[in-house]
Amino acid sequence: MIPDINVDSKTYLHGNHVHVNQDSSNVLLDVDVANNAVTLNMNSLTANFYTDSFRAHEWIFVATGHLEVDMDTVNIGMGLSFETQTLADGRVVPAVKAVDVNVDINRNDIDIKIWGNIWTDFASAFEIFFKSTVVGLIQDTITDTLTTTVPAFLNSELASTDGSLTVPTFGHWFLDWTTPEAAIVTSTSFELGAKGIMWDDIKGEAEWATDFADMAYKNTTEAAGFQVFLSDVSVDSLMGSYLEVGSIAGTLIGD
């Protein structure tokens, strides 16, 4: 949704909408190692701009109606750079910020359709107005959304978890997935290290006496694209905390 455009009290575009279509073959997922970021670029999108009502006034002439604009060459791209955020209780979880944001609309590939009460020269005058003012507003709105709104929403959602996940079907069993270090983006991998301690909220979270070992992110001698490394501390917490929230029952029958 694009905000209403009010040039003055007599000239406006109200009820503005933008819809975007994208061929999946033009969606490119890549990395920006320098910014520790994953990037997404969508090239050659087609976009449709529609306004529910417009009014334009020039001397004794007044034009009213609605209009539709097809923008056939639109490029949108952004990257998410990975950081950490420290919450009020001192716990650390992932955070992202926007990088490599690009919004480009080809002003030479725009088709404008107008319906309503218009005078002869209005269409050409409006085309100039749209390609300058309105296209600029669309680009600014999308850029602001990608730069500010998207990262703020993601960071808020990550913070709301407080770095803990509830284990399904166990009301008191949790996984501490806090991330003291930011995720690492390389040219060949995405690496993320989490604390990985299991605990229950009845007895509280506690780390085992064993120190955390230095853990690898990736074993380059292995062909597996998805790799997980678990420390003995994580395994111990899994087994020990399960006995606090679950039960093991059975019958041993001797001969």
Cβ neighbours for 222, distance < 8 A, ≥ 6 positions apart: none
pLDDT computed for residue 162 by the predictor: 94
Predicted confidence band of residue 48 (pLDDT cuts 50, 70, 90) = confident
Residue with tokens 């950490």: 84
Q: Give residue-wise pLDDT tens across range 56-67.
A: 777 777 778 888
Residues 188/199, Cβ–Cβ less than 8 Å: no
Cβ neighbours for 84, distance < 8 A, ≥ 6 positions apart: 92, 93, 94, 95, 179, 180, 181, 182
- 134, pLDDT greater than 90: no
pLDDT computed for residue 22 by the predictor: 76
The more confidently predicted of residues 74 and 63 is 74
The more confidently predicted of residues 52 and 211 is 52
The more confidently predicted of residues 29 and 117 is 29
Q: Give residue-wise pLDDT tens across range 181-240.
A: 999 999 989 999 998 888 888 777 766 655 667 778 888 888 888 888 888 888 888 888
Show the domains of the chain with their CATH numbers: 5-160 (3.15.10.10), 164-245 (no CATH)
Amino acid at residue number 30: D
Output the CA torsion sign for 135, 139, 142, 148: negative
The pTM of this model reads 0.78
Give the highest mean pLDDT range of 23-37, 109-123, 150-164, 170-184: 150-164
Q: Give residue-wise pLDDT tens across range 158-188.
A: 999 999 999 888 878 899 999 999 999 999 8
| Angle, CA of 61, 66 and 68, to the nearest 5° | 125
Mean pLDDT of 81-96: 96
- 9, pLDDT greater than 90: no
- 55, pLDDT greater than 90: no
Residue-wise DSSP of the chain = -BPPEEEETTEEEEEEEEEEE--GGGEEEEEEGGGTEEEEEEEEEEEEEEEEEEEEEETTEEEEEEEEEEEEEEEEEEEEEEEEEE-TTS-EEEEEEEEEEEEEE-TTSEEEEEEEE--TTHHHHHHHHIIIIIHHHHHHHHHHIIIIIHHHHHHHHHHHTTTEEEPTT-TTEEEE---SS--EE-SS-EE-----EEEETTTB----SSPPPP--S--TT---SS-----HHHHHHHHHHHHHH----------
Rounded CA-CA distance 45/26 in Å is 8
pLDDT computed for residue 184 by the predictor: 95
